[in-house]
């Protein structure tokens, strides 16, 4: 199973990297770029700061803030981002970012799913790039 996930990640990585390194603007990018985490546990508030710092290097921070994903999708997404050149995300930081994203998904997004966007497929991103 791990080998299959690795093969899938390697196959999809060029497409994902191209989409994120291009000037394409996703619907998620136009959403809010801050989250009020004052009610989150202290450790997750710290994880939020790390997430905002690291993840805004390659794309708008609004993108993951406004995207709905399941736990396993967040895990794959964070793993892919960790392996991007110059991401500067260590294994322990990746775990902290993942923990924040899963908590935020449960506490904020799952309670109001219509306010957020599902993750876009590679085909949908390609269509946006052509516009």
Query: What is the mean pLDDT of the segment spanning 30-43?
Result: 97
* Average per-residue pLDDT for the chain: 86
Q: Alpha-carbon distance 48 to 24, whole Å?
A: 25
Q: Alpha-carbon distance 64 to 14, whole Å?
A: 19
Nearest Cα residue to 13 out of 58, 50, 68: 58
Question: What is the 3-state secondary structure of the chain?
Answer: CHHHHHHHHHHHHHHHHHHHHCCCCCHHHHCCCCCCCCCCCHHHHHHHHHHHHHHCCCCCCHHHHCEECCHHHHHHHHHHHHCCCCCCCCHHHHHHHHHHHHHHHHHHHCCCHHHCEECCCHHHHHHHHHC
Answering whether pTM is above 0.85, one says no
pLDDT computed for residue 94 by the predictor: 97
pLDDT computed for residue 92 by the predictor: 97
Residue 85 confidence (pLDDT) above 60? yes
pLDDT tens per residue across span 97-126: 999 999 999 999 999 999 999 998 878 888
48 Cβ contact partners less than 8 Å away, ≥ 6 residues apart: 35, 37, 40, 100, 104
Is 79 within 8 Å of 9 (Cβ atoms)?
yes
pLDDT tens per residue across span 52-69: 999 998 899 999 999 999
């Amino acid at each position: 199973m791990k080998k299959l996930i690795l093969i899938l990640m390697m196959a999809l990585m060029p497409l994902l990297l191209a989409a994120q390194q291009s000037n394409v603007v996703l619907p998620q990018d136009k959403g809010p770029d801050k989250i009020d985490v004052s009610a989150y546990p202290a450790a997750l508030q710290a994880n939020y700061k790390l997430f905002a710092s690291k993840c805004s290097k390659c794309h708008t921070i609004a993108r993951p803030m406004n995207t709905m994903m399941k736990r396993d999708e967040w895990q794959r997404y964070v793993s892919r981002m960790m392996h991007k050149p110059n991401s500067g995300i260590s294994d322990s930081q990746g775990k902290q970012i993942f923990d924040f994203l899963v908590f935020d998904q449960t506490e904020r997004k799952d309670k109001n799913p219509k306010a957020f966007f599902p993750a876009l497929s590679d085909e949908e991103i390609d269509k946006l790039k052509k516009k």
